[in-house]
Amino acid sequence: MTNLEKLAAVVIGSSGGIGSALCNELTLDKSFDTVVAIDRKSAPNIDLLNEDSIMNAAQELAASGIKIKVLIVATGFLHGLDQRPEKRLKDLSAASLSNSFAINTIGPALLLKHFLPLAPKGERSVFACLSARVGSIGDNSLGGWHSYRASKAALNQIIKTMAVELRRTNVDSVLVSIHPGTTSTELSKPFSKNGLDVRTPEVAAKQILSVLGKLTTQDSGAFFDHLGKPIPW
């Protein structure tokens, strides 16, 4: 590393519940020169639906000498004013599928396209996208939530595929999907049932960072839960 380079932890989706908690936890970690929090209103800012904004943000970090030691994509979409998780097949629409894939799959894929090259060469770096257990095909016994499940399953495939290429281009980098567990955030609050192990964003952030801290290059391309246990594809 040159004197102009800064080792950074980067959180994309820093305005969300988990993203904000991750930024706070990473700020306490003195192994980074800086923590970069990125959302739609930050500087630089990112719009997941606009690749130019993603590319520009990555270029701005690169120009400032940033080398990414840890990057966490903490973005995601489950429901909104005009879209709810589908309970039945007849609830499915092209619009809901397109929106879920745009935010949960395509956006993170483009983020990794532009940010993975900012990893330092010759030393360990970790890149992670928050996925969801309901994106597991092997674990799906309840059905429903078609667009969310499918978009997260597609994200997991993107992670797996990019990790294969990463082994050739940067052997010291790790890329994984991670399920944060049911967390008290705006995304999951409407669906947090009694009896579920619902954790605060602060606890979720600590657990996620604990898992990421233990990963090796042999784990690259895998899908883990918040306790570090593998989840079936």
Question: Residue 75 falls within a domain, yes or no?
Answer: yes
CA–CA distance, 165 with 185 (Å, rounded to integer): 34
Whether 1 and 18 have beta carbons less than 8 Å apart is answered as no
Whether 79 and 190 have beta carbons less than 8 Å apart is answered as yes
**What does pLDDT average to over the chain?**
92
pTM: 0.91
The pLDDT of residue 195: 47
Record the tokens describing residue 65, joined without a space.
């000498």
| Amino acid type, 123 | E
pLDDT in tens, 94-145: 999 999 999 999 999 999 999 999 999 999 999 999 999 999 999 999 999 9
The pLDDT of residue 88: 87
The pLDDT of residue 5: 85
User: CA-CA-CA-CA torsion for 159, 222, 227, 214, nearest 10 degrees?
Assistant: -100
Question: Residue 232 falls within a domain, yes or no?
Answer: no
Question: Residue 191 falls within a domain, yes or no?
Answer: yes
Record the tokens describing residue 34, joined without a space.
């800086």
pLDDT in tens, 74-93: 999 887 767 888 888 898 89
Question: Residue 20 falls within a domain, yes or no?
Answer: yes
Using CA atoms, how far residue 36 sits from 46, 114, 171, 177, in Å, is 13, 16, 24, 20
Task: Give the count of domains, the chain.
Answer: 1
Alpha carbon 196 to its chain's center: 22
Question: Residue 48 falls within a domain, yes or no?
Answer: yes
The pLDDT of residue 107: 98
pLDDT in tens, 174-226: 999 999 988 876 655 555 555 467 889 999 999 999 999 999 999 999 999 99
Question: Residue 77 falls within a domain, yes or no?
Answer: yes
The pLDDT of residue 2: 53
The pLDDT of residue 99: 93
Using CA atoms, how far residue 115 sits from 12, 14, 139, 201, 203, in Å, is 11, 16, 30, 25, 27
The pLDDT of residue 184: 75
Band (165; pLDDT cuts 50, 70, 90): very high
CA-based R_g, the chain, Å = 17
User: CA-CA-CA-CA torsion for 52, 119, 73, 164, nearest 10 degrees?
Assistant: 100
Classify residue 184 as left (phi > 0), alpha (psi -120 to 50) or beta.
beta
SS3 45: coil
Query: Which residue segment(s) compose the domain that 40 sits in?
Result: 6-224
The pLDDT of residue 212: 98
pLDDT in tens, 34-80: 999 999 999 999 999 999 999 999 999 999 999 999 999 999 988 77
CATH number at residue 142: 3.40.50.720
CA–CA distance, 58 with 43 (Å, rounded to integer): 11
Question: Residue 27 falls within a domain, yes or no?
Answer: yes
CA–CA distance, 122 with 2 (Å, rounded to integer): 13
In DSSP terms, which residues pair with 38 in a beta bridge?
Answer: 12
CA–CA distance, 55 with 145 (Å, rounded to integer): 31
Query: How many CB atoms are located within 10 Å of the residue 164 CB?
Result: 11
